Amino acid sequence: MKEYFAGVDIGSTMTKVVIINETILASVVGPTGPEHRKLANRVMEEALNKLSLPFSDITYIVATGYGRVNVPFADKQITEISCHARGVANLIPTARTVIDIGGQDCKGIKLSNGKAVDFAMNDKCAAGTGRFLEVIAEALGVELEEMAELSLKAKKAAEISNTCTVFAELEVVSKLAEGVPLEELVAGLHEAIATRIYGMVSRLKIEKDVVVTGGGAKNIGLVKAMEAKIGYPVLKPEDPLLTGALGAALLGKDMVKQAIEKGVPVARSERQLREATFFS
Amino acid sequence: MVYAVGVDIGSAFAKAAIISSQLVAYHIIPSGGNYKLTADEAIKEALKKASLSLKDIAYVAATGYGASNVSFANEIIIEISCQARGVSYFFPSVRTAIDIGGQFTRVFKLDDRGKATAFMLSEKCAAGSGRFLQVIARVLQIDFAEIGPLSLKSRERVDFSTGCAVFAESEAISRIAEGASKEDILAGIHRAMAAKTLNLIERVGMEPDCALIGGGARDIGLVKSIEEILKLNLLVPEEPQIVAALGAALIAREKTYSTD
């Protein structure tokens, strides 16, 4: 019988589910939801439907991400640092440094032999996270998806002197009124985020290969700004949102394999799709 | 009578104070986008209140974020000196002062002559400044002036898991959706600000008496919250926003002695 393993990564903005056996069989990315964040079960259900798989066929489920504690159907919770490390190492074995740019946090992870050996993280301040771009895109009346392309059109990057998102928003609006071209401002914002992230990650010694993951990796303007700071090209997985969920599924698989080798039973949760509750 | 003027152009508000042997008049207006015009306006209005004209003024000292825009200033004096001097005028017993302004929180120690001896400035972070209150007031659709009195009615403070104004804004929206009251949210914001302030105070060292100045001191809820976390009573000037302008005016007036 084929064995299936699932990883559920509940980020602040997006929930991702990956189902694997030997390879990735199905993956689904859905919004975490602005208020109640109860969508983990729906994303899971969708992934199962893709494979026409009953939920009971999943051997082991690992939850990760900031909402991991509240996934009622997960067999185990593992930190996103370990999961990202495992997922990235699986996809890009030469990776030594991972920079994960999420919706509300940002982290740098050092890898050695496919495992996280050190990390730095900012989840305290919106600067240097996806939230920074989101807030400012709204203030500028630009779609978040347009920001990357706009920044690439700029001849130069406007200087943004504020780190704090709230003050940067005011600065950008007043610079726009002064006549600074929109694309130069947007390029300046990408530069500002890259500076912030680079400052945090360089506390770890950045080593080649550098892999960028998370929603930020999908923004080509930001990736280019990061490359300019680091001094050489970075790599990114085909789907940079999935590395955490993939790593979670892989770690689950590793654990079951080890348990079987040791002859110990694997504790599992009830296979029932219930709503995840966050504020209970 | 010898008159001196102090002008403090802050990021959020511009203040002008006129003194002779004591405070004669003052005026506060939003800083707006053109500091030069704002500085002119603040002084003009303060002079009007005192029934004086600019030629009656012996010396003008400017201070604050936009001090260089005060075209008729005789001198620019750094903020911390003006604030220490101003605090000492209101409360000679104060040895530690907290200033919560539009962009920063500053904590400083001062001696019995109104000289600053040590100080610490927050990062330029909205959550460590009066800007945080403006952000939350906008979310709750209330006026800045309503924040303090409303927050005092809080029965079950909403604690925020973040020290970032942007994250707290989203958190506040989620909590409102879950039914939290404005009062309880405001109390939580005050608590978060008080915690940040405490952090800064601990780095400078606390010596009583302690004063709270700047626009943040106009929010009675914030004052109470900081008192609670510091476990002491704060001295708050009747007009906490004009402390630096007044201090600048006091220093300016001294300059007129030396030219007498």
Check whether A191 has a pLDDT greater than 90. Answer: yes
CB contact under 8 A, B126 and A162: no
Given a cut of 90, is residue A220 above it in pLDDT? yes
Search chain A and give the residue with CA nearest B134: A166
Residue A276: which pLDDT band, with cuts at 50, 70 and 90?
Answer: low
Task: Kindly report the number of other CB atoms within 10 A of residue A45's CB atom.
Answer: 15
B213 CB near a chain A CB, below 8 Å?
A: no
Q: Which of B126, B166, B178 sits opposite A279 (nearest CB)?
A: B178
DSSP string, A181-198: -HHHHHHHHHHHHHHHHH
**How many CB atoms lie under 10 A from the CB of residue B145?**
11
Substitution target from A32, A125, A162 for chain B, most B beta carbons within 10 A: A125
Q: Do B126 and A164 touch (CB under 8 A)?
A: yes
Measured between alpha carbons, how far is B62 from A237 in angstroms, rounded to an integer?
56
pLDDT in tens, B133-191: 999 999 999 999 999 999 999 999 999 988 899 999 989 988 898 899 999 999 999 99
Q: Specify whether the CB–CB gap between A280 and A37 falls below 8 A.
A: no
pLDDT (tens digit, 9 = 90+) per residue, B188-233?
Answer: 999 999 999 999 999 999 999 999 999 999 999 999 999 999 999 9
Spatial strand order of the sheet with B234-235 comes to B116-121, B105-110, B96-100, B210-213, B234-235
What DSSP line would sit under B22-57, residue for residue? SEEEEEEEE--S-HHHHHHHHHHHHHHHHT--GGGE
| Contact flag A131-B167 (C-beta cutoff 8 Å) | yes
Would you place residue A13 in the very low, low, confident or very high pLDDT band (cuts 50, 70, 90)?
confident
What ipTM was predicted for this assembly? 0.84
- B124: closest chain A residue by CA: A164
Closest CA to B5 of B260, B259, B253, B244: B253
Strand-strand pairing, A58-64 and A4-10: parallel
Closest chain B residue to A33, measured at CA = B174
Residue A35 has what pLDDT? 43
pLDDT-derived band of residue A70, with 50, 70 and 90 as boundaries?
Answer: confident
Tell me the mean pLDDT in the region A217-238.
95
Structure-token pair, residue B82: 């003006």
Quick one: which of A2, A9, A3, A4 has its CA closest to A247? A9
Q: Are B225 and B259 in contact (CB under 8 A)?
A: no
Mean pLDDT score across all residues of chain A:
90
Q: How many angstroms separate the CA of residue B99 from the nearest CA in chain A?
A: 19
Distance CA A248, CA B98 (A): 47
CB neighbours of A112 closer than 8 A, spacing ≥ 6?
A: A96
Q: Which residues of chain B make contact with A166, given a CB cutoff of 8 A?
A: 126, 131, 135, 165-166
Quote the minimal CA–CA distance from B133 to chain A in Å: 12
Amino acid at A177: A
Cα distance between residue B43 and residue B59, in whole Å: 13
Among chain B residues, CA nearest to A178: B33
Nearest Cβ partner for B124 among A131, A164, A174: A164
pLDDT of residue A36: 40
As a whole-number percent, the residues of chain A with pLDDT over 70 amount to 95
Closest to B138 in 3D by CA, of A125, A174, A166: A166
Verify whether the Cβ–Cβ distance B165 to A166 is below 8 Å. Answer: yes
Question: Within an 8 Å CB–CB cutoff, is residue B138 touching chain A?
Answer: no
The reply to whether B103 touches chain A by the CB within 8 Å rule is yes
B45 and A CB contact within 8 Å: no
**Minimum distance, in Å, between the CA of residue B225 and any CA atom of chain A:** 22
Q: How many percent of chain A have pLDDT more than 90?
A: 76
Q: What local confidence, expressed as pLDDT, does residue A274 receive? A: 62
Q: Is A279 in Cβ contact with B165 (below 8 Å)?
A: no
The pLDDT value recorded for residue A278 is 46
More confident residue, A187 or B174: A187
CA-to-CA distance for B144 and B132, rounded, in angstroms?
Answer: 11
Q: How far apart are CA B60 and CA B248, in angstroms?
A: 8
Mean pLDDT of chain B: 94
Residues 6+ apart with CB under 8 A from B148: B218, B219, B220, B221, B222, B223
Q: Label residue A100 exposed, middle or buried (CB < 10 Å: 0-12, 13-18, 19+).
A: buried
Which chain B residue lies closest to A133 (C-alpha atoms)? Answer: B166
Contacts with B179 from chain A: Cβ below 8 Å: none
List, as ranges, residues 168-187 from B with C-beta within 8 Å of A: 170, 174, 177-178
Residues B95-104, mean pLDDT to the nearest whole number: 95
Closest CA to B177 of A278, A166, A40: A278
